[in-house]
Amino acid sequence: MSYYVGIDLGGTNIVAAVVDSNCNIIAKAECKTNAPRSESEICDSMADVTLKAISNAGLKTRDINSVGIGVPGALNPETGIVEYCVNLGFHNWNITRDMQQRLGMRIYIENDANAAAYGEYLAGALKGAKNAIAITLGTGVGGGIIIDGNLYSGSNFAGGELGHIVIQYKGKQCACGRKGCWEKYASATALIESTKQAVAEHPEEAEKILSLCGGNVDNINGATAFIAQRAGDKLGKAIVEQYIEYLACGLTNIINIFQPEIICIGGGISKEEDNLINPLLKIVESERYTKHNNSQTQICVAALGNDAGIIGAAFLFEQY
């Protein structure tokens, strides 16, 4: 049996896991990211959790074939440099060199959304597909594209930023500099913001939502409107329906461009499962260009949760 380590470098937590050649997670270790911190401090923490995970698995460093890291932001897997990581504030960070110095192992890096897509392709909802896409609904909207079994990230390794396709011309301002980006309407953050806005604009209809958040709108999360909808709340229903329309708009664009066999949706909102997927499919099926074709893109919930990025990162050696 061969063993690898996958690291998920997140804005809140750093998680490392030992993964065997059958994509099974053997042991994990984690710590807080505690950003903002220097590149050196972050590398120290990643090395520390890697060694702890190896120890927790009852293995030695010599048993590990390679280490893969999923990093948020734009990076170059060939040079090992993180060119820009907006969430952690890093520019031109040679993370591969720094981690090799600490661990003495082969290091591979990839965008975290791409790593998650690859994990789902290897062992999750995308397994068995030749062409597939993973979407993650979180702080933003992450995307990972698989074409002919390989990660696709374009000529400059910055492709797959699906959250930044525009669905509303001159719409809401996005942190990327554009206006109307899909993630400003379809991310978990966007759903929270639209729920708060609806409560502010329709206080007379917000009793149920306010009761769910203890009367404090700061406690609203991505599930609040869905819970209200299931309870028969009119305002919750309107919020969810609008959100799903925005989500369907972006997904239809993606299907029209790539025509993948399957798209899986991950992130906290995906836990709504049929309550999300069924109305979403109804809209997409009526709007996609290929509505009359015999073969259609399947849309489903991602299978691996937070483990997708770890498993995908562990097997990055297969891609580079």
Q: Are 34 and 141 in the same domain?
A: no
Q: What does the pLDDT read at residue 157? A: 85
Q: What does the pLDDT read at residue 91? A: 85
Give the helix/strand (H/E) hosting 43: helix 39-56
253 vs 32, 247, 257, 258, 265, CA distance in Å? 37, 10, 6, 9, 15
Q: Are 87 and 216 in the same domain?
A: no
Q: What does the pLDDT read at residue 158? A: 82
Beta-carbon contacts of 292 under 8 Å, excluding residues fewer than 6 positions away, are: none
Give the domain extent around 196. 128-303
Preceding peptide of 260 cis, ω within 30°: no
* Overall domain count for the chain: 2
Q: Are 48 and 69 in the same domain?
A: yes
Q: What does the pLDDT read at residue 89? A: 78
CA distance 164 to 37: 27
DSSP-derived 3-state class of residue 21: coil
Q: What CATH number corresponds to the domain at position 92?
A: 3.30.420.40
Q: What does the pLDDT read at residue 261? A: 96
Which stretches of the chain score pLDDT less than 70?
A: 87
Q: Are 57 and 185 in the same domain?
A: no
Half-sphere CA count of 25, side-chain side, radius 13 A: 21
241 vs 229, 236, 275, CA distance in Å? 9, 9, 11
Q: What does the pLDDT read at residue 211? A: 95
Q: Are 111 and 70 in contact (CB under 8 A)?
A: yes
Residues constituting the chain: 320
Q: Are 186 and 279 in the same domain?
A: yes
Q: What does the pLDDT read at residue 112? A: 92
Q: Are 213 and 251 in the same domain?
A: yes
